[in-house]
Amino acid sequence: MEFVIEMNNIRKEFPGIVANNNITLQVKKGEIHALLGENGAGKSTLMNVLFGLYQPEKGEIKVKGKTVKITDPNVANELGIGMVHQHFMLVQNFSVTENIILGSEPTKNGSINIKLAANEIAELSKKYGLAVDPYAKIEDISVGMQQRVEILKTLYRGADILIFDEPTAALTPQEIKELIQILKRLINEGKSIILITHKLKEIMEVCDRCTVIRKGEGIGTVNVADTNEEQLAALMVGREVNFSVDKVDATPGKDVLVINNLTVHDARNIPSVVGLDLTVKAGEILGIAGVDGNGQTELIEAITGLRKAKSGSIKLNGKELINHSARKITEAGIGHIPQDRHKHGLVLDFSVGENIVLQSYYKQPFSKFGILNFNKIFEQAKKLIKEYDVRTPSEYTPARALSGGNQQKAIIAREVDRSPDFLIAAQPTRGLDVGAIEFIHSKLVEERDKGRAVLLVSFELDEVMNLSDRIAVIYEGKIVDIVDPKTTNEQELGLLMAGGKREREGVS
Amino acid sequence: MDFLAILSIIIPAALYTGAPLILTALGGVFSERSGVVNIGLEGLMVFGAFSSILTTLYIQDMVGPASPWIGILIAGIASGIFSLLHAVASVTLRADQTVSGVAINFLALGLAIFLIKKIFNKGQTDFIDYRINKINIPILSDIPIIGKMFFSMVPVTSFLAIIVAFIVWYIIYKTPFGLRLRSVGEHPMAADTMGINVARMRYTGVIISGVFAGLGGGVFATSISGNFSAGTISGQGFLALAAMIFGKWHPLGALGAALFFGLAQSLSVIGGQIPFIQDFPNVILTIIPYVLTILALAGFVGRAEAPKANGVPYIKGKR
Amino acid sequence: MQRLLQNEKIVNILIPVMAAVLGMVAGAIIMFLGGYDPVKGYTALWNGIFGSPRSIGETIRAMSPLILAGLAVGFAFKTGLFNIGVEGQLLVGWLASVWIGYALNLPGIIHLPLAIIAAAAAGALWGLVPGLLKAYFKVHEVIVTIMMNYIALYVTADLIKRFLYAGNEKSYKVKESASLASSFLATITDNSRLHYGIVVAILAAIIMWYLLEKTTKGFELRAVGFNQHASSYAGMSVKKNIILSMVISGAFGGMAGAMEGLGTFQNMTVLSAFTGTGFNGIAVALLGANHAFGIILAAALFGGLRTAAPQMSFNANVPSELIDIVIALIIFFVASSYLIRLLLTRLRKEGK
């Protein structure tokens, strides 16, 4: 049996945690090998060990049968290992060519020979079907093309073992299809691929074998042909998981949030929400499906007062709120679980308690005459920590010290406890493990059942389909259609998200 | 006094005071392009001025007129070594780079005066015998009008500084080294995954900035002040820093800004000879560079974007 | 010992203490290399600080502007801003206090507070400019405050010459009704220049602590300092808080100037170079971990070093610039706290 990569009994520690314990991964030549695990299971750590960014404490690595020590990415490159990172490792204001040749630039009389490099890149991109513009700047090209640049970086260095770290996370359904074609083409050209993912469907579709790790421990390797999604899920989580969300049918009430003809410009002053109409009713979860960058962020920012809208109307229970201050909007009864919990949701250096009162610190009982009442603040924090099962040493612990799931729980506790009439949940489960995802989903359904209006924005189509009572599809800043999750399917949504039209009549 | 006559006073003066600023600002470009904020330029200039004067005083009896040139070279080397402190603190020890820069400024002045007192038993040095002379550039100075304006009675160092600025531009934008340096200042982790040693690039950037600031301080001391005391370098390093920002972290931008600040500085000295300007209170001329820098930063000359990772320590494996 | 080192709070206190010790040790090494006797040097330094009632008085006197300068830097730090412009704020505050103290005729109970408020207002104005530019144009405050320092230096010198010039490069003296000087304090410290400014400085420290830690305004300022995005998400005005922070910081800086104008000197000199007190404020704030109480302690150390430096030069023949070197090194060591943390971790491991 020929293995191109053998990682045997790898152990990697960080201060306080063992990220990888006794993990073995063996990749055959010419296969697509999945590395499956939940967020935080240790997949990226293992791959960073293989790529030379980390040194393991124990274990051995063999590449093409030879025992090697991969001390830095240069060594990995020389061994033919290339990595396509989840967060693209691209310099935004460099050109495609400059990014690809960085570190191994062809020169002529001491200066970089850009022309030669660009030609080489054009050739490579033809050979592998990776369309890129060698002279374009990274900041001006699409996410899909950026990923192709990442792949070209590895090919330019002659890699024949490619690691893909969650490559579909930022892609549209169409782009995912294209990527799968690219992967197959790479295999045909004699490359071997390691695909890091937590998406079972993708594994079933393209992979030959799958190694599962859970909480830093190696669980084992299975042939994909001999297994199914349920089994893989059970291996990954360690128990039976039911990905569908338990909920009864919604009983929608009156209109809570009504948006009319809303137009919002983005940071570069380009219209990104264009004449958008949307209504969310009491007692329903309205999911917004769409590819990242179609105006979701600006829509949320306009509703919550974080970005000025150009025109239109946003009414909550009949009261006009457009371009009011964030504080007024919060007080009017809008809760917001933000997309990026580290950037917007929490002050990481504040204690959990201080974060719990982040929007209400100036109100009684948390303060009086401008003087804070810490007893009351931490009392409230203690109460919510218990109710929402936030695992933290204490309410005085800095939010930074909590795990992602518990940070998100703290935010949800804060937002839901204010019992807002309208709750926005933007990417509420991004990067969380299955347990936390289940908890958050059940909380959102619970709020719906209490009669609140919930707006769910997520780039995970499964989540939108499982959780929503209605799905609004956003494309280029407009709601192009509203569909019933019970009667739609992924193909139809994918088409709508890409700007296509539905054949039958709209449901809304 | 006609307009051309005014220009022929102003331009040589700007070239004269601009040279040290150009060199130091170019140093700043190297450091900050690699992602290390360097407000220690002032201190590095101080150390350069000190080293050049000390060297010149020691060797002038042996070497004669070449002594200030050797002094300037030694200044570059000395400040390059001195800047290692900033590199160690900023890159290896992940210190706040602004704070480390402040410490550099304190330390350079303290150390220089400490040593001057130790050596000379007083707070300042003697004057050097040979300075960098103002010369008429052969042939070029004979060109009518322009010759007198640009090429007469200026120190050679000014022209050298301008040439160096173009060389720096070439290095930073056309060579592999430049591409790597900039990548480390924009996205160090991307550079790391491409096998570029981030720490080594940043050390290099900081040390080159030390060398350039040392040369700048040396040029100032050997062409303008002629001796060294606590007040020799008083704000030129910060002006150079401002010129670098005003020039948007671009070598040629820094060159233009440094010349402009040189002009503004010289106006407060030579303004008395020029009609209209001589009616201004001197204090206004003195503060013009500082006010202009603030106005420039406020966006009246277009947005200046710093390298993205400027001032952020790079910690391996941390997103 | 090992258990102590596990405690983050204790480590946070140990870092500045170790930085100060390392700085002094490095100073001794430099003295030795320079051919001076470190023991003699530090003995002279010690005597310069504690040797007599008078030197103690002078140390305390030197503390008050340092405390205020440290508060100015520390306050801005706490709200995420780096105010390198305390030197300039100090100068304009100094001038304002002297001007009001000289030009008006008022009973002391009004005149003195008014002169201090004028100094605070002038410093606040000097902080307002970088604050506005930061809030509305996103201009980095470090550069603007550096530029403002030079503007302050030249403008104050010019204004003294124009309006307050008493000859000999000095302004007129402030009236007794605006003076912080105290014959009582001077008497008990053997005719030092100790004045009531220390009371003002300590009051200011208490105010800073209370404002930041106990009030809703302080909550906002700290939140904005840590995370602007989350603060605006939570409905706070990031712009207003940035401006307010620079204004308050500048006011502390201005008051530091009043300590010199109404206390130590009773007038202002036409300066051609910076006093250094504002820059020392950076060292004080860093060493004091930006905490009001820590700043007082750090100011005591630096105040002592500064006042005793001439003594060291006089009695042990060590150039007083050694103190500048020591202070610079202390800043280095605090800034490089990662180094000290590494050392402590080592200790911890070896203890196991």
Closest by CA position to C279, among listed C88, C42, C118, C137 = C88
What is the arithmetic mean of pLDDT over B129-145? 78
Of the ranges A48-57, A77-86, C60-69, the best mean pLDDT one = C60-69
Residue A410's pLDDT is: 95
What is the arithmetic mean of pLDDT over B85-108? 92
Q: Does residue C143 belong to the interface with chain B, where contact is any CB pair within 8 Å? A: yes
What is the arithmetic mean of pLDDT over A384-405? 91
What is the arithmetic mean of pLDDT over A226-249? 84
The whole-angstrom separation of Cα B242 and Cα C297 is 35
The whole-angstrom separation of Cα A505 and Cα A485 is 15
Say if residue B140's pLDDT is above 80: no
Residue A508's pLDDT is: 42
Q: What percent of chain A has pLDDT over 70?
A: 98
Amino acid at A75: V
Q: What is the complex's ipTM, to 2 decimals?
A: 0.88
Q: Which residue of B has its CA nearest to A112?
A: B175
- Best A102, A139, A155, A343 member to test B by mutation, with max B CBs in 10 Å, is A102
Say if residue A312's pLDDT is above 90: yes
Say if residue A425's pLDDT is above 80: yes
Residue A431's pLDDT is: 80
Say if residue C1's pLDDT is above 50: no
Sign of dihedral through CA atoms C1, C2, C7, C10?
positive
What is the arithmetic mean of pLDDT over A242-258? 85
Cβ-contact A36, A232 below 8 angstroms: yes
Q: For all residues of chain C together, what is the average pLDDT?
A: 91
Give tens-digit pLDDT for B206-236: 999 999 999 999 999 999 999 999 989 988 9
Say if residue B152's pLDDT is above 80: no
Give tens-digit pLDDT for C282-329: 989 999 989 999 999 999 999 999 999 988 888 888 999 999 999 999
- C-alpha radius of gyration, chain C, whole number: 21
B98 interaction partners in chain C (CB closer than 8 Å): 82, 84, 142
Give the closest-approach CA distance of C108 to chain B in angstroms: 34
Q: Does residue C233 belong to the interface with chain B, where contact is any CB pair within 8 Å? A: no
Confidence category of residue C65, pLDDT binned at 50, 70, 90? very high
Residue C338's pLDDT is: 78
Residue A87's pLDDT is: 85
Give the closest-approach CA distance of A343 to chain C in angstroms: 6
B107–C329 CB contact, under 8 Å: yes
* CA B308 to mean position of chain CA atoms: 23
The whole-angstrom separation of Cα A114 and Cα A99 is 11
At residue C200, φ and ψ (nearest 5 deg) are: -60, -45
Give tens-digit pLDDT for A476-488: 999 999 999 999 9
Give tens-digit pLDDT for A266-308: 888 889 999 999 999 999 999 999 888 889 999 999 999 999 9
A102–B179 CB contact, under 8 Å: yes
Give tens-digit pLDDT for A432-477: 888 888 899 999 999 999 999 999 999 888 899 999 999 999 999 9
Confidence category of residue B319, pLDDT binned at 50, 70, 90? very low
Picking from B94, B230, B294, the nearest residue to C144 by CB comes out as B294
Q: Which residue of B has its CA nearest to A14?
A: B317
Give tens-digit pLDDT for C280-294: 999 899 999 899 999
Residue B302's pLDDT is: 53
Give tens-digit pLDDT for C170-194: 999 999 999 998 888 888 888 889 9
B180–A112 CB contact, under 8 Å: no
Q: What is the DSSP letter of B137?
A: P
Q: What angle do CA C152, C158, C160 make, to 5 degrees?
A: 100
The CB-based long-range contact list for C129-134 (8 Å cut-off, 24+ gap) reads C129/B294, C130/C83, C130/C85, C130/C246, C131/C242, C131/C243, C131/C244, C131/C245, C131/C246, C131/C247, C131/C250, C132/C243, C133/B294, C133/B297, C133/B298, C134/C81, C134/C242, C134/C243, C134/C246
Say if residue A401's pLDDT is above 60: yes
C214 exposure class (CB count in 10 Å sphere: 0-12, 13-18, 19+): middle
Say if residue A311's pLDDT is above 90: yes
Q: For all residues of chain B together, what is the average pLDDT?
A: 88
Helix (H, G, I), strand (E, B) or coil at A94: coil
Angle between helices C321-335 and B97-120 (to 10 degrees): 160
Give tens-digit pLDDT for A133-178: 999 999 888 888 999 999 999 999 999 999 999 888 777 777 888 8
At residue A499, φ and ψ (nearest 5 deg) are: 95, 5
Structure tokens at A271: 């219209």
Say if residue B108's pLDDT is above 60: yes
Q: Which residue of A has its CA nearest to B171?
A: A111
- Best A334, A346, A347 member to test C by mutation, with max C CBs in 10 Å, is A347
Say if residue C352's pLDDT is above 50: no
- State the pTM of this model: 0.88
Say if residue A197's pLDDT is above 70: yes
B154 exposure class (CB count in 10 Å sphere: 0-12, 13-18, 19+): buried
Q: What percent of chain C has pLDDT over 70?
A: 96
Q: For all residues of chain A together, what is the average pLDDT?
A: 91
What is the arithmetic mean of pLDDT over C158-166? 93
